[in-house]
Structure 1
Amino acid sequence: MSWCTGVDMSDKGITMRNGRTKAPQEQSQDQVVPQLAQEQQDLNPQQATPQKQAMSPDEKKATKKSLVIVACIFVASLATMCYVYAIFPELNESEKQHLKIPRDIQDAKMLAKVLDRYKDMYYFEVMFGVVVAYVFLQTFAIPGSLFLSILLGFLYKFPIALFLICFCSALGATLCYTLSNLVGRRLIRHFWPKKTSEWSKHVEEYRDSLFNYMLFLRMTPILPNWFINLASPVIGVPLHVFALGTFCGVAPPSVIAIQAGKTLQKMTSSSEAFSWTSMGILMVCACASLLPGLLKNKFKHKKEA
C-alpha cells in the first residue's frame, strides 16, 4: 500500500518522500525513556541506586524463624530479671516501688538510696542486679543505660564503676550485634537498601582503621548507640573490632557519667552531667581517635601513587 500513502515502509522505520526516516510507531516516548535509563544504569553500575526488593519465600521463612528465636531470648532475659529480683534482699513496701529501671533522674535518685542501703551487706547481689539490668537494656536497645552509668558512679569507686560500665556496654552491644546479625540483616537490607549500600562502601573504604572509626562513633553523639549496634553486622563490621571498639570507646563518656554520679543527689536533670567543658573534652578525644586512621590512609594513598 506504499503507492497510496507516498511512503516506503520497512522494518527499520518509515521513509518519507523527503528522505527523512520516522521512528516506527512502536518506539513511543514511554518506551524509549525507560530503555535509555536502563542503558545508563548498565553503563554506570556503581551509580545505580539499590532498590527495595521483596523477600523470597525462603527469606521470609528464615526471618520469621529468627524473630521467634529473638522473642524466646527476650522472654528468657525477662525471666533472668525476675530471678534477680527474687534473690534480692527483702525490702519494705516503700522501697519496693523504687526497685525498677530508672526512666529519669528522680527514679535514679530513689533507686540509688535503696541500693546504697544494702550495698555493703549484699555487695555482689546488688552489683549483679545492676549489671544484668544494664546488659538487658543494651541488648534490646532500650533507653535508660545513662542513668545506670550515673548510678554505678554513685555506688562504687571510680575504677570499679568504669570497668563495670565498659564491660556491660561491650557485652550488651555484642549481644545486640548478634541478634541483629540473626534477624536484622534481612530486615534492614529490605527496608533501607540505599543506606545499607552507602554505609557498606564507607566501611570498605576505612577497613584498615575501623577500630579508630568505632572509637569515634562511641565518643560522639553523631549516631545513637542502638543504631550502631543494629547496623554494624549488616554493613560488615567484624565482631572483634566492634566489641573492642565499644569497650574502649565508651570509656571517655563513662568518666563523665561517673563524675556526675558522685553528685547524683544534687542533680535535677541528666543533662547536668554533660557540661560544655566535658563535651569539648569528648570532641578532642574523638578527633584524636581518628588521627591514626587518617594518617594510615594518607600513607597508603602515597604508596599507591
Structure 2
Amino acid sequence: MNAQRIIVISFCVALVALFFILDLGRLLTFASLKANHGALLAFYGEHRTLTVAVFLAIYIIQTALSLPGATILSLAAGALFGAVAGTAWAVTGATIGATLAFLLTRYLFHDAVQRRFGPRLEGINRELEKAGLNYLLFLRLVPLFPFFLINLGAGLTRLPLRTFVLGTFVGIIPGGFVYVNAGASLAAIASPADIASPRVIGSFALLGLFSLVPVLYKKITAQRRT
C-alpha cells in the first residue's frame, strides 16, 4: 500500500476516532432531537441557507465515514424542512455520502481485493456489469441490508460509478420519505422503532423484488433458448 493510501486511511480513522472521543453521537439521538427541536426550528427560521448547508455537510460526513445517526438525521430533515424538501435534502446528502464511501473503498482496497479474489468475484462482477442497477435497487429498497455495507461492498466490485449513484439515489427515496415524513410529525413519535412497522418493511421488500423482475425474465428467457 502506497503512502497516499496510508494517509487517506489515517485521516479517515482519525475522523472516526474524533467522533467517538468527543462523544458526538450524543447529538445524533432521538432524545436530543426532541429536546432541541424548538431551537433548531428557530435557527432555521433565521438562517435557512446555512442550516441546509450544515445539515448536508453532517449527513455527507456521517454517511461517508459509516458513522451512526442516519435515522436521526432523516427524522431531523422532516422536523426542520418538512416532508418534501426534507426528503430531497436527506436523499441528496445520503447519496453524496454513500458515493464518497464507495469511491474511498474503491481507491483504497479495490485493486488488492481483485488481485486476491478476482477469479472468485468474476461471476459477481459480470452480473453487476449486466444488471447492476437492478441488484442495487433491490439492496437499497429491502431494509434488511446495512446501508454502509452496501457502499463498501459495491466499491470492491466492478459496479460502474454512475450505476451506483443512480441506484442509490432512486433506491433510498421510498425509505427516506417514510422517515422524513415521520420526522415532520416529530411530536407524535415515541421512538424511531415505531416507524418501521412490518407493513412498511413488507412494502419495501415487495418493491425490491419488483426491481429484480427484469433480471429474472432475462434469465428465464435465456434458459428457454438453450
TM-score, normalised by the number of residues in structure 1: 0.64
Separation in 2, partners of 1:67, 1:140? 16
**For the structure 1 residues 244 and 153, does the alpha-carbon distance in structure 2 shift closer, same or farther, using more than 3 Å as the test?**
same
2:168 to 223, 239, 246: 246
Matched, 1:121 2:46: yes
Separation in 2, partners of 1:276, 1:235? 32
Matched, 1:165 2:75: no
Structure 2 partner of 1:262: 184
1:139 to 64, 68, 72: 64
Question: Is the 2:141–2:208 Cα contact (8 Å) retained in structure 1?
Answer: yes
Structure 2 partner of 1:30: none
Amino acid at match of 2:82: K
**For the structure 1 residues 197 and 127, does the alpha-carbon distance in structure 2 shift closer, same or farther, using more than 3 Å as the test?**
farther
> Any idea what the Cα deviations from partners look like across 1:184-224, whole Å, max 9, x if unmatched?
3256568xx56x76555224235322101101101123431
Separation in 2, partners of 1:198, 1:154? 46
Separation in 1, partners of 2:221, 2:9? 44
**For the structure 1 residues 242 and 221, does the alpha-carbon distance in structure 2 shift closer, same or farther, using more than 3 Å as the test?**
same
**For the structure 1 residues 262 and 200, does the alpha-carbon distance in structure 2 shift closer, same or farther, using more than 3 Å as the test?**
farther
Amino acid at match of 2:123: K
Separation in 2, partners of 1:101, 1:245? 31
Amino acid at match of 1:173: A
Question: Is the 1:102–1:147 Cα contact (8 Å) retained in structure 2?
Answer: no
- Higher relative contact order (CA closer than 8 Å, sequence separation 6+): 2
**Greater CA radius of gyration, 1 or 2?**
1
Structure 2 partner of 1:153: 78
Question: Is the 1:70–1:179 Cα contact (8 Å) retained in structure 2?
Answer: no
**For the structure 1 residues 73 and 143, does the alpha-carbon distance in structure 2 shift closer, same or farther, using more than 3 Å as the test?**
closer
Amino acid at match of 2:219: N
**For the structure 1 residues 151 and 108, does the alpha-carbon distance in structure 2 shift closer, same or farther, using more than 3 Å as the test?**
same
What secondary structure, in the 3-state scheme, does the structure 2 residue paired with 1:141 have? coil
Amino acid at match of 1:220: V
Unaligned segments of structure 1, at least 5 residues:
1-59, 82-98
Separation in 1, partners of 2:187, 2:28? 16
**For the structure 1 residues 271 and 129, does the alpha-carbon distance in structure 2 shift closer, same or farther, using more than 3 Å as the test?**
same
What secondary structure, in the 3-state scheme, does the structure 2 residue paired with 1:143 have? coil
Structure 1 partner of 2:7: 68
In the TM superposition, 1:263-302 aligns within 5 A as: 263-302=185-224
Amino acid at match of 2:6: L
2:30 to 96, 105, 114: 105
Q: CA RMSD in A?
A: 2.9
Amino acid at match of 2:90: I
Question: Is the 1:153–1:259 Cα contact (8 Å) retained in structure 2?
Answer: yes
Unaligned segments of structure 2, at least 5 residues:
none
Question: Is the 2:25–2:68 Cα contact (8 Å) retained in structure 1?
Answer: no
What secondary structure, in the 3-state scheme, does the structure 1 residue paired with 2:103 have? helix
TM-score, normalised by the number of residues in structure 2: 0.85
